[in-house]
Structure 1
Amino acid sequence: MDENKWLSQLRERADQSMFKDVHFTPGMQQGVREKVSKRASSERYGTAKYAVGICGMALLVLLMWQVWPQKIGLEHASTSSTPPPLRTVETWEPSPAVTETYDGMTYTYIGERPVRVITDETNIYEAQQQKWMWLLNGEVPAEVEIFAYRSDGKQVNLGTYATGGELYDADHHFPSGIVLPEPGIWKLHVQAGGSVLGGVFVEVKEGVSPSNRSWVESLITRYLQQEQEQLKWLGADREVTLDLFYVEAPSADRRRAYAEVLIVSGENGAGVSAPMAFDILYVGNDYRVTDFEMPEDGNRYMSSLERIFPERARELLRNRE
């Protein structure tokens, strides 16, 4: 039997074994020929049948030597499981706004049934409350919870809410005042009994919302022009310049605002430049500045700054410098 014929037969036998997925290359064939040739030249006895046996053994050994490690690696890879990666801020995207008409009424929401939200998704800013109207479809219990998750794993419990009846095409609805503490992409889940009913993605922006900035800066400016206790020494004629950089608005009737302020007296040329914090409350039928603070001078500056300004406000202040 010539070499080519028995190599072909052994190739067919290998195809029926664990080597069926292995490509028997010309280089591998040549390697077998060389090994058999050396073995045959060193032997003084044997038959053609014995030589074929030697060749077969050499072929299988060579195949096992070159392929076995690869097969083991493939089997190991097929049995090992890697959990899918967590969604990161790059893969999270805000839920798009959708406009629909129901019973002659047009409304815009974000999210998908069974959980949607009516809100101004372009005006969501860190630490500032915004009104959200939730629309729920399907069977919903009398109370639900809202949890917020940021893409880096931060989690916030946003409270428990009682659900109401139908609104537009939703089976249930409920209003809420939502405050998300930091900028980034957040997913808000509606949960009941440990089960997630659905959720929406929103982008929380850094800084102060335009709606807050427009009236808070004006309110603080008037207050600083008229304040007669701590700033009386500046006289009645004051020029006030301020830059509002952070607002905490945990509810609709209360705010704490942080700004860099410059006040110059028009009477004596004296002035003050400092970061300040202002308490704003809804009193009667209007908002008022009820108090303000600024860091002390000298070696107590840093300690008083840390007492007056929360960590996030200090971070924004440092970034401005």
Structure 2
Amino acid sequence: MASPSSLNFDGRVAVVTGGGRGLGREYAVLLAARGAKVVVNDVGGTLTGEGTDVGPAQQVVNEIRSAGGEAVASTDSVATAEGGRAIVDAALEHFGRIDVLVHNAGNVRRAPLTEMSYEDFDAVLDVHLRGAFHVVRPAFPVMTTAGYGRVVLTSSIGGLYGNHGVANYAAAKAGIIGLTNVVALEGAAHGVTCNAIIPGAVTRMAEGLDTSAYPPMEPGLVAPMVGWLAHQSCTVTGELFVAIAGRMARAFVAETPGVYRPSWSVEDVAEVIDAIRDDTVPLVFPPVPNGHTDHIRYSFGASAASDL
């Protein structure tokens, strides 16, 4: 089933969580069409995360096999450590390796902050954020030992900018950014990259939203970016990539140069707050190779420069 394209996945094994519908289905089918053996993981539950059904994952597997590819279905849940381990084990048991991990599984439980229950907050973090850790944790040592791996986690514009009624979802997706950075840092010496996709597509997660004025936003417009991030030729790591309505871009964290003083009062802050907030010359400290250290070095440098 391998594509004649030079960017193929012959000999590679990929795991796609949430692969039974929407974006995940597009990722799984694309990877398989380009030669990857795919574990299609999906519990087949409702949008809010209840229930199980092998149907969605098996349907994608059947589609891949009908086109000449290789795939197996997994209905284990990313919401538990045991489920995450079982998903990774499915790749190792059926195909003997894991080269690509795409964590796409998700659920939605909307409520205003004043009404959101603790149960709904945890239920969303369990799938999106803890779910990412539950599959990364068992896959990562296998990849580092092999000296190769491509990890793609899923953040959101909700994680970057927030949105009404989704405190749980926004917190989880912001957490994904931090996890992405650490996986990228710790994988860098072992041939393992990790990046995050920030997708925008009309899937069942858009249920209840008025999408009538949206431009074309099918999942197929997002999948090529995930395919590239999952490919051997992709050497960037620790980065965030937006794919929405045909637009692809890179998102990143930036700082203002700021203001240094050897001592501060509340009044001092008030006096120069405009300079502190001035973002006309932003600073970017890429997580890899040394964003954490570069940030500290720059900040400490302001103090050292004042002593000259």
Indicate the TM-score class for this superposition, using the shorter chain for normalisation.
under 0.3
Give the TM-score of the pair, scaled to structure 1. Answer: 0.19
User: Which has the larger helix fraction?
Assistant: 2
User: Which has the larger strand fraction?
Assistant: 1
Larger Rg: 1
